[in-house]
Amino acid sequence: MIGANTEVVRSVILEKCNIHFGYLADSVLDQNVKIAAGLVTANKRLDRENIAITTKEKTIDSRTDRLGILAGEGAETGIKVGTMPGVILGPNSKIFPGVIVFNSVEENEVKK
């Protein structure tokens, strides 16, 4: 379900995802991802350089200057969440309302 006043650009959304109003760009959402109202994904760096994806183990050059979020199965966000480019929301992670996510979130992690 993609709600009214939602802009989705160059993104892949798998089954059973819910997105209320917001901006989702250059992103991939696995199954059962729930995005509350007001999500804004940053998909470009201010300096327009390539976006690095950082995990617990390593940092990977995405080889692109446009990348939003990579959300694992069952990830959820509260209202008015913002994400920086290349952030991973691990499976079953939860982001509390109003949080700006600068770094990737691990599986089952709760970000307040």
Q: Is 47's pLDDT higher than 90?
A: yes
Cα 14 to its chain centre, rounded Å, is 14
pLDDT in tens, 17-46: 999 999 999 999 999 999 999 999 999 999
User: What is the structure's pLDDT at 56?
Assistant: 85
Q: Which CATH superfamily is domain 6-111 in?
A: Hexapeptide repeat proteins (2.160.10.10)
**Predicted structure pTM score:** 0.94
From the list 19, 20, 26, 87, the catalytic residue is 20
Cα gap 87→97, rounded to integer Å: 17
Q: What's the mean per-residue pLDDT of the chain? A: 97
Decide if 20 is catalytic.
yes
What tokens appear for 11 in the block? 């993104």
